[in-house]
Structure 1
């Protein structure tokens, strides 16, 4: 199977491309193999890449003024990841993005992203669908954070994203849920007892 096949299959779920359009799109991508625990975007760095995860896993997080981490999101195979506000507005990143495991990604630069939307307007539909899905996911997460207790949020997370839950550390899950690793350990033990 060709390296580009998975990204083209993902795109084909939402838009149909001719062979020429596929070739043009893949010509704009830069493939990278990135080792585990590599920071690919740091806070303050120019955010000019949108990454498609071919294999592996990444996470986006931010730090408060005391250096405390908060995980914003995880991204697994077939997901796209960037600091979207900063990417679209060509601003310095507000977040960090790092690989959780050895990963293979395709990067689309902001310049190439803009060229792609001009050359093949149907990609506007594709990225609109991605952004709608991301917005919906974040809205539901905000509602869950406001209405569910920590244990309910944890159970919902592991049921909704079992692949992510099995590929990231408990500390990273705790930072995603907005609780301490110690409290997550307590919740996990209680959850296993109650099963």
Structure 2
């Protein structure tokens, strides 16, 4: 398995996957933080997920089906990733059946995370989303820009600033 893993040092803002390309690799964040995001026609971006140390990152639909990626992935910090290419992972599933179980559970947990994220976005106030963000990503609060956090929460950076002031004073 070790022969199939690749190590890469990444620079802040380095793009690992661009929407429209094919997601051929799944990345494990060894150091730093990646983000999965979507570009909109008006030039704005929506952050879908942050992937700090010990998280996995890929456009799962593209990776699994071979279709083009809907999301982009880039580095929010300098860091290091370990990655494996799709065809190598498929071969390892055959050679190491327990590895297939590991990734099935990983993908199930990722799907649950996306479902929870969707529920939050559709049904909870911005203040509650911010509180939950603080709990889910406490290590990122001072590492990534407010612009990225606001995008993830679906609010403006100005409104995020107001929410943060309320949290500090309460």
TM tier, smaller: over 0.9
2:110 pairs, out of 116, 131, 134, with 134
Q: Which residue of 1 aligns with 2:120?
A: 144
User: What count of residue pairs does the alignment treat as equivalent?
Assistant: 170
Separation in 1 of the partners of 2:8 and 2:105?
Answer: 25
Which residues of structure 1 form unaligned runs of 5+? 1-24
- Is 2:89 the counterpart of 1:89? no
Q: How far 1:160 moved relative to its partner?
A: 2.3
Deviations 1:110-138 (A, max 9, x none): 11011111111111110111111111112
Counterpart position of 2:157: 181
| SS in structure 2 of the partner of residue 78 of structure 1 | coil
Bigger shift: residues 141-150 or 45-54: 141-150
The alignment's TM-score, normalised by the length of structure 2, stands at 0.95
Match of 2:28 in 1: 52
Alpha-carbon distance in structure 1 between the residues aligned to 2:141 and 2:55: 16
State the secondary structure of the residue aligned to 2:89.
Answer: helix
Matched residues in 1 for 2:75 and 2:120: separation? Answer: 26
The offset of 1:184, in angstroms, is 0.8
Counterpart CA distance in 1 for 2:115 and 2:69 is 22
Aligned partners of 1:37, 1:65: CA distance in 2, in Å?
Answer: 20
Aligned pair partner of 2:143 in 162, 167, 191: 167
Match of 1:103 in 2: 79
RMSD of aligned alpha carbons: 1.1
TM-score normalised by length of structure 1: 0.83
Q: Which has the larger radius of gyration?
A: 1
Answer yes or no: is 1:74 the counterpart of 2:74.
no
Which 5+ residue runs of structure 2 have no aligned equivalent? none
Secondary structure class of the residue paired with 2:30: strand
- Paired with 1:107 and 1:33, the residues of 2 have a C-alpha distance of 11
